[in-house]
Amino acid sequence: MYDFVCRAGICGSCAMMINGRPTLACRTLTADLTDTIELLPLPFFKLLGDLSVDTGVWFHDMAKRLESWIHTTKEFDPTAEEERMDNDTANKIYESERCIECGCCVAACATAQVYPDFLGAAGLNRIGRFMFDPRDTRGEQEWFELVSTDIGVFGCIGMMACDDVCPKDLPLLEVFSYIRRKMNSGVKVAVNEMDLA
């Protein structure tokens, strides 16, 4: 039992451990591997059987925990023109949106093996996507409360195994750095509020 849909590296369903490394089976050539190939299901996710794991429940839960939608108080106006966005911001959002939810980064992550609630690179990348987005009006303090925990950005030990295995080459290091900088601003806000109290 194993999963695949697109066979083109875009659906993320065929991720598995191949010779000890989490990767997409459909983008792996047997010619590049050893004569004997070891296949195992991704660790961390719920095993459904053989090489098939349930990544969907985890990603759905992560999306809910991070409130993965644009938070705004603006009334929706269906007749309004599209809002413009500068190219750099749009490109950053686009890069984060390229995640195919394969789970390779989480399977490679030492912290995730110890803390089952850890957001992993996929979760941090997801929240980074909304932090980049100027339409999301969540403030420094709200971001801070959402990810400044041991199961959020402070649980990340920064050895970047996630970055090594991400089959879509997402700029995870750049996203993590951005989130950490945001957390520093959140600490300053919290400290200022304590000063005023």
105 binds, among ligand FES, ligand SF4, none (CB under 5 to 8 A by kind): ligand SF4
* Shortest separation between residue 107's beta carbon and ligand SF4, angstroms: 8
107 binds, among ligand FES, ligand SF4, none (CB under 5 to 8 A by kind): none
**Contact string 152-171 vs ligand SF4 (x = CB under 6 A):** ----xxxxxxx---x-x-x-
* Shortest separation between residue 196's beta carbon and ligand SF4, angstroms: 34
Q: Does 7 bind ligand FES (CB under 6 A)?
A: yes
7 binds, among ligand FES, ligand SF4, none (CB under 5 to 8 A by kind): ligand FES
Q: Does 23 bind ligand SF4 (CB under 6 A)?
A: no
- Asked if 120 and 31 touch (Cβ cutoff 8 Å), the reply is no
Q: Does 102 bind ligand SF4 (CB under 6 A)?
A: yes
Nearer residue to ligand FES within complex by CB, 26 or 63: 26
- Asked if 39 and 24 touch (Cβ cutoff 8 Å), the reply is no
The sign of the CA dihedral 60, 150, 15, 52 is negative
Segment 72 to 101, residues that bind ligand SF4, using CB under 6 A: 99-101
Which distant-in-sequence residues (6+ apart) come within 8 Å of 41 by Cβ? 16, 17, 47, 50, 51, 52, 53
Nearer residue to ligand SF4 within complex by CB, 120 or 186: 120
Exposure string (b/e) for 61-91, b if CB count within 10 Å is 16 or more?
A: ebeebbeeeeeeeeeeeeeeeeeeeeeeeee
> Which amino acid is residue 56, in one-letter code?
G
Helix, strand, coil percentages in the chain from 3-state DSSP, rounded to 5: 45, 10, 45
**Any idea which residue has 């789970």 for tokens?**
103
**Contact string 110-129 vs ligand SF4 (x = CB under 6 A):** xx--------xxx--x----
Rounded CA separation 147/107 (Å): 20
Would you tell me which residues interact with ligand FES (CB under 6 A)?
4-7, 9-14, 24, 26
Binding site for ligand SF4 (CB under 6 A): 99-105, 108-111, 120-122, 125, 156-162, 166, 168, 170
